[in-house]
Amino acid sequence: MSTDVHDLAGIGLGPFNLGLAALADAVPGLDAVFLDRRAEFSWHPGLLLDGARLQVPFLADLVTMVDPTSRWSFLNYLREHDRMFPFFFAERFHVPRREYDHYCAWVARSLPSCRFGAEVTAVSWDADRAAFRLTHDGGELLARNVVLGVGTQPRVPAAFQPLLGKEICHAADYLTNLPALTAAADVTVIGSGQSGAEVFLDLLRRQPETGSRVRWLTRGQFAPMEYSKIGLEHFTPDYTSYFRGLDPSTRDRLVPAQWQLYKAVSADTLAEIQDLLYERTVGGGRVAAELTPHTEIRTVESVDGRYRLGCHEIQQDRPYTVDTDRVVLATGYAASVPPFLDPLDHLVHWDERRRQRVNADHRVELDPAVTGGLYVQNGELHTHGVGAPDLTLGAWRAATILNAVTGRTVHRLPARTAFTSFGAP
């Protein structure tokens, strides 16, 4: 193990910690290292569908919202790959998801601070060295500050957990299991978010070849994401600051009620689905597809080689069953505390629901005996609101963390970011 103590160590290299690595690259004298267990960068590979686009403009890349002059901007990526003219003529504000993945992979390969194939197994506090000790499968390292960027994990309803495989899978593994799904006569998609809509649309497009019946069930409704110009100001630092000032119980009530800000479907995707269904019915044609909202799945069982879903229509308060051959669970993702933090468990200040308490600088509250900083990215929805998982605020959060870690303003951040005045005067 090296005896050197890094200023900062990032665990996980999704877009948020990769953005932190990119912004840290421009900070003179900052010794930063980033570890990821995977062999290379890959962003939601199971959902890199043809035609799928980012739900945020390309300016919400890894760095531009903080430093548009950075060499790691999306525009510089285009320039480096001789794609500036094609991009200009395409007139796309929302880029293909595949291109965003390729852009991030380019940055990850180019930054010397990023190390792949290094799985962290334990993080502890070394009081003698006044640093965190990170144990990984390649050895150990010390860092005064640690930033968690491990992302969220697929949420699988309890009833489906024993049955996960090629026939019942989470949307995160959709492309991996596509051969088994398209070979079935009847496929059911569960969940009303963007991934559910994209999977349903993809299965619809494949129907002429597969002949499958496709079904889309959801507890909520098929509704578009809030995308008005003033409504989007919920994804500003101003709103984050307002949200943090609310009582914790108010925050917990508010986040689920704001589902249309961050869990709904792009209006363009909904329009593509409706357009496809409309065209298929020209001349009296029939579409082997169902869209059913307000349905809760309460049970699932294997019956004669198929799956019987015990459904409940919420508004009518009526039960019914659905028999299907395959199920795709577009049931979202959830933050969790990784097991490698177990050695720090007694030093973390947990809230009453055993969630990390996170301050304005995205620093986890720890016992005062710990002089180093433990920061979190996309694990603070309960303290920072709907902007936590959104790419729009990624660069701003990374800059905030860097300013806190260095104790100085290495990236200047605006004092006001919204026209809306959140809260009473």
Q: What is the pLDDT of residues 384-410, one digit of tens each?
A: 999 999 999 999 999 999 999 999 999
Is 290 contained in some domain? yes
| Residues 275 and 214 occupy one common structural domain | yes
| Residues 40 and 69 occupy one common structural domain | yes
Is 236 contained in some domain? no
Cβ neighbours of residue 229 closer than 8 Å, sequence gap 6 or more:
none
| Residues 83 and 204 occupy one common structural domain | no
Phi-psi region of 178 (alpha: psi -120 to 50; beta: other; left: phi over 0): alpha
Is 21 contained in some domain? yes
| Residues 118 and 219 occupy one common structural domain | no
| Residues 307 and 168 occupy one common structural domain | yes
Comparing 112-116, 230-234, 283-287, 419-423, which segment has the lowest mean pLDDT?
283-287
Is 4 a residue whose pLDDT tops 80? Answer: yes
Backbone angles phi, psi at 313, to 5 degrees: -75, 115
Give the span between the Cα atoms of 423 and 401, in whole angstroms: 25
Give the span between the Cα atoms of 144 and 181, in whole angstroms: 47
Please count the other Cβ atoms lying within 10 Å of the Cβ belonging to residue 388. 27
Is 210 contained in some domain? yes
C-alpha torsion sign, points 118, 121, 395, 58: positive
| Residues 313 and 170 occupy one common structural domain | yes
| Residues 147 and 160 occupy one common structural domain | no
| Residues 126 and 205 occupy one common structural domain | no
Is 239 contained in some domain? no
| Residues 49 and 123 occupy one common structural domain | yes
Per-residue pLDDT tens for 58-91? 999 999 999 999 999 999 999 999 999 999 999 9
Please count the other Cβ atoms lying within 10 Å of the Cβ belonging to residue 291. 16
| Residues 208 and 344 occupy one common structural domain | no
Buried b (16+ CB within 10 A) or exposed e, 135-145: bbeeeebbbbb
Is 254 contained in some domain? no
The pLDDT value given to residue 167: 96
Give the span between the Cα atoms of 110 and 72, in whole angstroms: 9
Query: Which of 329, 357, 386 is the C-terminal boundary of a domain?
Result: 329
Cβ pair 111, 21 in contact under 8 A: yes
Is 1 a residue whose pLDDT tops 80? Answer: no
Per-residue pLDDT tens for 124-169? 999 999 999 999 998 999 999 999 999 999 999 999 999 999 999 9
* CATH number of the domain within which 310 lies: 3.50.50.60
Give the span between the Cα atoms of 288 and 284, in whole angstroms: 13
Closest CA to 33 of 13, 5, 62, 10: 10
| Residues 108 and 175 occupy one common structural domain | no
Give the span between the Cα atoms of 391 and 44, in whole angstroms: 14
| Residues 15 and 128 occupy one common structural domain | yes
Is 315 contained in some domain? yes
Cβ pair 202, 177 in contact under 8 A: no
State the pTM of this model.
0.95
Domain count across the chain: 2
Cβ pair 411, 403 in contact under 8 A: yes
Is 415 contained in some domain? no
The pLDDT value given to residue 2: 54
Token match 């050197």: residue? 4
Query: Which of 329, 354, 379 is the C-terminal boundary of a domain?
Result: 329
For 144-161, what is the HEC assignment? Answer: CEEEECCCCEECCCHHHH
Task: Decide the pairing of beta strands 326-329 and 168-170.
Answer: parallel
Question: Which residue range is the domain that position 220 belongs to?
Answer: 156-225+264-329
Cβ neighbours of residue 2 closer than 8 Å, sequence gap 6 or more:
141, 142
